[in-house]
Structure 1
Amino acid sequence: MVEFVDRINRPIQLVYYPPYHSKYNPIERCWGVLEQHWNGTKLVDVETMLSWASSMTWKGLHPILTLSNIVYQKGISLTKKAMKQVESRLQRNPLLPKWDILIQPL
């Protein structure tokens, strides 16, 4: 995100939902609508899942779907030195330091 902020030259504020507060997260409500839409259908393959997901509506809209076949690497972590550089760019809200972070461009 820090690199992205520098690339677009705009600040980004990250505000996270605390764990177990899915009722405030709109994407979680969308998942609930999708689960009701497929109503126990056996999702035996990718085509079936994409078909059901593309035919649902949420707030009157159909989703736009694309299948990603990217395999992401696991276990990637920054060195302490690299993480220190990233942390120096993060402005944490003192009242909610884990949930509210501002990243300013250089």
Structure 2
Amino acid sequence: MDCKATVEIGEYSRGGQTRGYNQAQDHDMGTKEKYVPCGIVDEDTGQLYVTFGSSYKTSDFMVDNLEQWWTSLSITEKQQLENIQIKVDNGAENSEIRRQFLKRMVEFADQTKKSIQLLYFPPYHSKYNPIERCWGILERHWNGTLLRKAQTMLAWVKTMTWKGLNPIVKLSKKVYQKGISLTKKEMKEIEKHLERNPHLPKWDILIRPS
């Protein structure tokens, strides 16, 4: 699970190539329409889930997408999962010390009744995160296309393939607040639910449901 760079909607060049004669702006002239892509790839099935958010990239945005992924599964698929392993970069919104993210993950474990294992990639190793490969394929897929409208952006993502499957794509208009945090007292309660690997406490965290 991870977010990629913000996508600007408009006549903007992204460095790719297209057929025919196309002109594009090479500078951001203050575009007002931007979207943050958040992706989740199921390594067992190969299914890719992508949500484009019109608000900020926050811990809540990322976990909300994780909850949407969970609700999209069938009862049988949920029952077959013994636990949920999530591979993430140690970014600002989802790091192993990000209080709001860890709080939401504890709540997610309670919601799903599944143990959650958070596996973090060390700095400069994000290329090994499976979702990063999906982003690379998306960039090659839409290449130099001018994303003039949000619907154009969504349509292109829906036609890419990963492991032979088209992604499940959604658009979120929910507004997220930045800077949400917990007090030290609240975080102590959250830490009680976190089982940090004694050898890799920053990179491997297990959360069991209550």
- Corresponding residue number in structure 2 for 1:59: 163
Output one character per residue of 1:2-52: Cα deviation in whole Å (capped at 9) or x when no partner: 122223333211112223212211110000000001111122221111011
Alpha-carbon distance change, 66 to 89 in structure 1, aligned in 2, over 3 angstroms: same
**1: CA distance between counterparts of 2:142 and 2:128?**
23
1:19 to 123, 127, 131: 123
The residue identity in structure 2 corresponding to 1:45 is: K
The residue identity in structure 2 corresponding to 1:42 is: L
Equivalent residues in 2 for 1:1-106, closer than 5 Å: 1-106=105-210
Q: What is the deviation of 1:76?
A: 0.3
RMSD: 1.3
Task: Give the secondary structure class of the aligned counterpart of 1:97.
Answer: coil
Alpha-carbon distance change, 51 to 8 in structure 1, aligned in 2, over 3 angstroms: closer
Task: Give the secondary structure class of the aligned counterpart of 1:60.
Answer: coil
Task: Give the secondary structure class of the aligned counterpart of 2:195.
Answer: strand
Output one character per residue of 1:27-81: Cα deviation in whole Å (capped at 9) or x when no partner: 1000000000111112222111101111111121111111111111111000110
**Structure with the larger helix share:** 1
Q: Which has the higher contact order (CA 8 A, sep 6+)?
A: 1
Structure 1 runs not aligned, ≥5 long: none
Q: What is the deviation of 1:90?
A: 0.7
**2: CA distance between counterparts of 1:60 and 1:11?**
29
**Structure with the larger strand share:** 2
Report the TM-score when normalising by structure 1.
0.90
**2: CA distance between counterparts of 1:58 and 1:9?**
29
**1: CA distance between counterparts of 2:170 and 2:202?**
32
- Number of corresponding residues: 106
Runs (4+) of structure 1 exceeding 2 A deviation are 6-10
- Once the two structures are overlaid, the 10-residue window that deviates more, 36-45 or 5-14, is 5-14
**1: CA distance between counterparts of 2:199 and 2:187?**
22
- Once the two structures are overlaid, the 10-residue window that deviates more, 26-35 or 8-17, is 8-17
- Corresponding residue number in structure 1 for 2:35: none
